[in-house]
Chains A and B, each alone.
Chain A
Amino acid sequence: MLTNYSEHYLPNGIRVLFMPTDKFKTISMALFLHQELNPDVAALNALLPATLEQGSRQYPDKLSLQRRLENLYGADLTADILKSGERHVIAFSCELAHDKYLGENGSLLEKGLSVLGSITGDPLLENGGFKKDYVKQEKNQLIKDIRAMLNDKATYAYERCMALMCDGERFGTYKLGRIEDYEAIDEAALYRHYCRLFSTNPLDLYLIGDLSEKEVLRAAGKAFNFSRRAEQGHLPPTDINRSVLEVRYHEEEMTVNQSKLVLGFRTYTAHGDARYCPLLVYNGILGAFPHSKLFMKVREEAGLAYYVHSRLERHKGLMVISAGINYNDYKEAREIIDRQLEDMVNGKISPAELDNTKRGLVNRLRSQQDSPNQLISAHLDGSIGGRTYSAEELIEGIEAVNRQEIRAVAEKIKLDTVYVLRPQEGGS
């Protein structure tokens, strides 16, 4: 049996998605504020959760906040900014151990929600803005985080490829924005941004755990009682239709041992399209599993890579192939990868590849049901993509995919950008 959410609305328009289940040891809660991804306000968006997390009126500094969380048996509170398609989602979450394993009296739900409500809805203010010190400090931290993208070379290569490929599109915006935009932000402007977003943009609260609907709605209503405008803003959909005029090739040199190869493709298939399930199967056969073509051919047969895979940026209709290789093997690796892509177009897919991929995808979907975080992000995906699939729907959809549909997906996919991070000339 797969469980689903029940949907409710608080008086101020916050949507509550509640899933009662006694299978977890935890109470999981998450709050998402949806916003358009836009290069000009990306830094503001990123700075917002970081600043709010520093303290609220009730818990005015990190010390008092963290001590409160520790007394709630180490409740794990996070504040983050997510980029998904051309949405920029401000995300808060709080995970608590459930009372029944602690000999507590059942008040952890209310106490946890109260902390989350305090941080998001009742911020610490001074002189009509956020606390100046916190804003300054978080600006420094975020600028540091943007620069730190460099440290993990695989992530860096991936982000560089996306930025180059989607230059001039909203998706080309890095999730933490541009370093140069931070300078101009002050505590008053950030507070105005907060007021506007929290009053007009869609806000979703998720709750999963061994809880009753009545107590959840009562505690949520009490914790999130700030006023919001009745009319809510409309968010534009993600553009997935950019055409490819010619394949772009970018190479960057760095003092590294291993080359990172990243290939960006456009699939022209959106999350809500009828071709969405065929795209999942296509990507699975090509490179999402250890039985996939890329892993088998590039790694297991040719021994050229340790990691090689394809993944979808499903809300932007992109597919990205990544591999870590010797620079000298670039040509050979590309040839093998290109041959796999051609085989996909020509329908050279064995019955085992097709069946195993479907089983693997179904296994992943069913496994999601065992993690509160994955249950939440799967539903969030639906909100972002404009179409919510239940696990059963996706499973049926995947099982029904046929070869013609996969081929139709394959024929539409276009390579757009090749990015190679390579060792400096004279290096290995």
Chain B
Amino acid sequence: MRENFRLIENRELHETLYHYRFWPGLDLYVLPRRDYQKKYAVFSTRFGSIDNRFRVEPEQEVTELPDGVAHFLEHKLFEDERGNVFDRFAALGASPNAFTSFNQTSYLFSCTASFEQSLDHLLNFVQEPYFTEKTVQKEQGIIGQEIKMYEDHPHWRVFFNLLAGLYQKHPVRNDIAGTAESIARITPDLLYRCYHTFYHPSNMAVFVVGDLDPEPVGRQVQENLAGREYGPMGEIVRLFPEEPADIYQAKTVQELIVSDPILFIGFKDNKVGKLQSRDLMRREILMELVLDILFGSSERLYNELYRNNLIDENFGAEYTAELNYGYAMIGGETGDPDQLYGRIMEAVEDLKKQGIRAEQFERHRRKILGGYIRRFNSLEFIANNFLAYRFKDAELFDLPSILQAVKREEALGVLEENLDPAYHALSLIAPPKEE
């Protein structure tokens, strides 16, 4: 049953997006892209690693999960009674994949032929769970290796160590894949309970992009849902611990085999939890501008640091804003973490005093606009990012208009508020000390 339909036009990008809503609450987005060989579809649920405590209205019973369930479930959906889902896509020449983030799990494929059948496979395997003791046990071995791989990966470790330093309680401080101990506690029952909560269509969305007509795609998705006898579901209440404003630990150091130390500095955003939709996107854009003005390769600081061998080309800064957490992160490989740390903190305070020049602001605004347009070459970028924003009630296509509207004074306000030295932490990966 079609509940709703609308067109979303984007004049800047010359794109038209078709949005359908089908009972019991599944959103489908179709973006036609003429001349592309590839068609790409992604089916996502708003279930990520941070959703580890929840209840479903009107029930009062709270479910608590060990770390890594969303990711484990992602792996396990690729297997069912008939065997391995990869084979079914392979028979069509389609290429399937999946990923789990803090906030969502996504299943996807790309193909250049047999699109309709591939889309059916995607819709079917995601909606048909099959978990047994045996298959869960085997997956513990595979994911155990995935965890070990990341344990050896310094850029991965520096990132997660920083989040664990910034947050005292929020589950974003835990690894997405969990730990060997936490995944050992996962059972088929637990997977089914999560599945029947978070994989209800009202918590999910589909994005399809490529050289195709929206109407037949709409009918196909609608028919696929119609045969499944879904009932309505109560609201999912995600329970997050009260996160104190203060950070957990000022400095985290881990020794790993690396050529040079890796330093990340994080600033915890304590205001972000009150924002959503366009306001959240606006804050993200402002922070992107501020960080680029502070640390971008067209500014003095970057060039001085580079000339003094304190950073390399991979040095960078980025900001993340989600519904109930947010942080800015700055860093890279460095020969002298202490000196780099001092320079970065000094630069933040200097910019607060000196302010942002109009020329500077416009230049960085142009850069972000151009970068945004360039990324629209990639069907994967559009689909994945559209859904990530959709789950925070924002729309990817709004970015250019918000970017044009933001003001220099606002950026200064966000700088003051968000890069506050009272709420920062360090994460350092260091080579082992010589004995």
Chain A positions near chain B (C-beta within 8 angstroms): 2, 21-26, 61-63, 66-67, 69-76, 95-98, 100-102, 133, 137, 140-141, 144-145, 147-154, 254-258, 289-291, 295-296, 299-300, 303-307, 324-326, 352, 355-357, 359-360, 362-364, 366-367, 369-372, 428
Contact = CB atoms under 8 A, between A and B. Distances in A.
B37 A304 contact: no
A107 to B, nearest CB: 14
Given A25-B376, A101-B12, A324-B149, 20 more contacts: A21-B35, A22-B35, A25-B13, A69-B367, A70-B298, A70-B364, A74-B369, A74-B370, A97-B374, A100-B14, A145-B312, A291-B84, A291-B89, A303-B142, A324-B148, A356-B90, A359-B113, A360-B93, A363-B113, A366-B38
B237 interface: no
Contacts of A140: 309
Contact of A370 (B38, B90, B306): B38
B366 interface: yes
A289 B14 contact: no
B366 A71 contact: yes
B370 A305 contact: no
Nearest to A62: B303
Contacts of A372: 377
Contacts of B307: 133, 137
Contacts of B300: 63
B331 interface: no
B432 interface: yes
B92 interface: yes
A363 B91 CA distance: 12
Contacts of A307: 149
A98 B12 CA distance: 11
A403 B299 CA distance: 59
A305 B142 CA distance: 6
B377 A359 contact: no
B60 interface: no
A243 B111 CA distance: 40
A148 B373 contact: no
Given A73-B367, A96-B370, A371 B142 contact: no
Query: What 8 pairs between A and B have smallest CB-CB spacing?
Result: A73-B370, A359-B93, A74-B367, A303-B141, A291-B90, A66-B298, A74-B370, A147-B259
Interface of B: 12-14, 33-38, 79, 84, 86-87, 89-96, 110-113, 138-139, 141-143, 145-146, 148-149, 151-155, 256-260, 296-300, 303, 306-307, 309, 312-313, 333, 335, 363-364, 366-371, 373-374, 376-379, 432
Contacts of A362: 93, 112-113
Given A306-B143, A363-B113, A102 B373 contact: yes
A291 B363 contact: no
A106 to B, nearest CB: 15
Contacts of B34: 23
A309 B368 CA distance: 37
Nearest to A98: B373
Nearest to B375: A25
Contacts of A324: 145, 148-149
A62 B313 CA distance: 12
Contacts of B377: 24-26, 370-372
Contacts of A303: 138-139, 141-142
A152 B153 contact: yes
B89 to A, nearest CB: 8
Contacts of B33: 23
B151 A63 contact: no
8 contacts: A74-B370, A137-B307, A144-B312, A355-B91, A356-B91, A363-B94, A363-B95, A363-B112
Contact of B369 (A102, A154, A370): A102
A133 B84 CA distance: 57
Contacts of B364: 70
Nearest to A73: B370
Contacts of B110: 363, 367
Nearest to A28: B377
A141 B139 contact: no
B249 to A, nearest CB: 23
Contact of B370 (A97, A141, A300, A369): A97
A356 B113 CA distance: 13
A287 B151 CA distance: 25
Contacts of B257: 150, 153, 254-256
A144 B378 contact: no
A353 to B, nearest CB: 9
Contacts of A73: 366-367, 369-370, 373
Nearest to B429: A151
A361 B154 CA distance: 33
A148 B333 contact: yes
A187 to B, nearest CB: 16
B141 A304 contact: yes
Contacts of B303: 61-63
Contacts of A95: 374
A97 B366 CA distance: 11
A2 B153 CA distance: 40
B149 A62 contact: no
B369 to A, nearest CB: 6
B309 A291 contact: no
Nearest to B300: A63
Contact of B297 (A62, A96, A137): A62
A306 B260 contact: no
Nearest to A2: B37
A138 to B, nearest CB: 10
A151 B430 CA distance: 11
A117 B12 CA distance: 30
A66 B301 CA distance: 13
A370 B379 contact: yes
B367 A367 contact: no
B82 to A, nearest CB: 14
Nearest to A96: B370
Contact of A257 (B87, B96, B148): B148
Contact of A367 (B12, B35, B112, B256): B112
Contacts of A352: 87, 90-91
A296 B37 contact: no
Contacts of A256: 152, 257
Given A23-B36, A150-B257, A306 B146 contact: yes
A299 B13 CA distance: 42
Contacts of A75: 370
B37 A367 contact: yes
A306 B258 contact: no
Contacts of B376: 25
Nearest to A103: B12
B155 to A, nearest CB: 7
Given A74-B366, A141-B309, A370 B36 contact: yes
